[in-house]
Amino acid sequence: MAKYALVYRGGRAPETPEEGKQVMAAWMAWYGALGAAVSDGGAPFGPSMSISPGGGAAEGAPSGLTGYTILTADSLAAATELAGGCPVLSSGGAVDVYECIDMEM
């Protein structure tokens, strides 16, 4: 089994504390359904910086990434299927799924 990074882009922030509780409940239910496939629950991203090839730095990375989770799955297709239930999708966000390449040294 390999590890896969789910990287979140976009999504709408909850507008009220009650909506925030509902969103958190949806995330916890999704993580519960994933069970042992969750290798690292990840975290949301905060402020960001972007560094250009020339070394210049600017606030706010242009990718719009908002968080990540690491899963263990049999294949990229299986990881993508698991990502299909991610709550960020119901708030207008997207999920990119990447295989994490094991670099043995």
CATH top class, domain 2-46+63-100: alpha beta
pLDDT value of residue 40: 95
Q: Is 85 in a helix, a strand, or coil?
A: coil
Provide the CB-side half-sphere exposure for 9 (13 A, CA).
Answer: 8
> pLDDT tens, 60-94?
888 889 999 999 999 999 999 999 999 999 999 99
Check residue 61 and give its pLDDT. 87
Answer yes or no: are the C-beta atoms of 95 and 88 closer than 8 Å: yes
Report domain extents, the chain.
2-46+63-100
Mean pLDDT of the chain: 94
Residue 13 above 90 pLDDT?
A: no
* CB within 8 Å of 40: residues ≥ 6 apart: 69, 70
